[in-house]
Amino acid sequence: MSGMSAGRSAMRMGPAELVQAAAMARRFYLEGKSKIQIAEEFGVSRFKVARVLETALERDLVRIEIRVPAELDAERSDALRARYGLRHAVVVESPAEAEETPDPENLGEVAADLLGELVNEGDVLGLAWGRSTIHMAAALDRLPPCTVVQLTGVYDAGTAERGSVEAVRRAAQVSGGDAHPIYAPMLLPDAATAAALRNQTGIARAFEYFDKVTVACVSIGSWEPGISTVHDMLSDEERAHYASLGVAAEMSAHLFDSDGRRIGRDLGERCITVKTDQLRRIPEVVAIAGGQRKAPAIDAVLRSGLVTSLVTDTSAADYLMTAGPTPKPALSRADPDGI
């Protein structure tokens, strides 16, 4: 037999081999039997079983498909998780008709499902103000029993019933746990007024839970009108001041430059919000943010190391995968700038 003929013969499987390979593959992939169990059944070694299963894949006798819902992009999700060293990254297909829209509503729906996975019974769930977290809370349909606390004041106290207060109530209702809302504006005129509010009984009670939070859900804003809550609450003079410091993003009323360093610390003294060092100690901080317009801000906040997981969309993910030098892993939660 020539070498070529021998090669062709080696590549072929006879009918008995095909039947046996199919039977072994069925036992392994469909019935969940181990290679040792299959070897005992067929009277062969487990090494023979391993070779047969490998051959079944090579000859296309067995096809393995990894399928996720159409709206989830598994490849981008994994690449983004690896690039930023995140614990979880979930990338959702951007709506074709709204590529420029920040934080599409479907991000909140996916984030609600993610929280259903991450929150365990007895956890303390913290929710910061943001359109995306409000959408997430509205989409919640399952949560184990947990305490829910508001992490920031509201954008406008007059809209509390439609905003973060209602989001906290909704999450607590779904989980059957206690709710600790904050009935106060996020930004106050001066540090003294903010300090006085923090000492009020209801607000102080919520603040006591900040160091107990185990899972937090936050939003990200870029420094432009309509996409940053803090930007919209400041005067023109104040906006210009923080812009001169290089502000690129805000999260929970904290400002960051493009490298993820916190700037404008004086603003935090006027805000009702969780501190950055408290955020850093929370085991799981999930950010919900998407859209091309927010992509640079998302990159900046991810570089701060405060966020462990991200729910975003494909338009933002494509920017993030090529944005600047590879960042430090977020899971190290390093604090080189003392933020």
- How many CB atoms sit inside 10 A of residue 10's CB? 8
Q: Classify 285 as helix, strand or coil.
A: strand
Q: Indicate the pLDDT class of residue 145, thresholds 50, 70 and 90.
A: very high
Name the β-bridge partners of 222.
Answer: 249
Nearest C-alpha neighbor of 260 from the set 197, 154, 332, 162: 332
Q: Indicate the pLDDT class of residue 162, thresholds 50, 70 and 90.
A: low
Tell me the pTM.
0.76
Query: Which pLDDT score, from 0 to 100, does residue 147 have?
Result: 97
Segment 9-41, tens digit of pLDDT: 345 666 777 888 888 998 998 888 999 999 999
Query: Which pLDDT score, from 0 to 100, does residue 132 have?
Result: 86
d(CA 302, CA 85): 10
- What does the DSSP assignment read for 31-58? S---HHHHHHHHTS-HHHHHHHHHHHHH
d(CA 242, CA 246): 7
Q: Classify 32 as helix, strand or coil.
A: coil
